[in-house]
Every structure is written in C-alpha cells, then in structure tokens.
Amino acid sequence: MTIGPIKKGLFHKWLGKSEDEPITKRDIQKALNYRGKGWQHVHRMAAFVKSAKKWNHAGIIDERDLGYSKAELIDERDLGYSKAELSALSRLHNS
C-alpha cells in the first residue's frame, strides 16, 4: 500500500482547525487512535507532527511546550558532563 505525501496544512484540515491554531498533544493522540478511512496516512501525519514539535524552529518553540528542557535531550553520561555543567554551557551558548 502506498501512502501519499504529507502536504502542508492537511493535518490541520483533518483536525478541523485553521493553520493558525497550534496542534496540541491531545490532537496528536486523537490522530494516533484514529482507525477510520485513511488511518495510515493520518498516523503518518501525527508521527511527523510529534517529531517536528521537538525541533528547534529557530527558537519559536518554548521548552515548556515540549514538556522537557533542552538539557534533558542530552544524556550527560554520553558527554562526561554533569547537569550543572550542561546548564552552564547552555547559558553561555544562549548569551
């Protein structure tokens, strides 16, 4: 089965929202639970949106919207830094 390409605004249209309205976690969950016609495409759109919410988008997304901080994205054991050192590095980078 071939699933068509994801087009800009199509997920908003499926949700019945205007493109100006934000997509919430509840909207994504609604799409992931959908089992009607074209459910594979709806799931693909929801998975894309879920991933895209984690991207930086040039600072448009606030960490509070994501439910985790940027420091939590990096496991300090992988880099050998403590959380305090990562926080200090983050502050230096953002200044």
**Residue-level pLDDT at 66:** 57
pLDDT tens, residue by residue, 3-55:
566 677 888 899 999 988 988 999 999 999 999 888 888 888 888 888 888 77
The one-letter code for the residue type at 63 is E
**Residue-level pLDDT at 9:** 85
pTM over 0.75: no
**Residue-level pLDDT at 1:** 47
Tokens 């992988």: give the residue: 78
The structure tokens listed for 3 are 């699933």
CA distance 49 to 41: 12
**Residue-level pLDDT at 16:** 93
What are φ and ψ of residue 38, in 5° steps? Answer: 75, 25
CA distance 2 to 5: 9
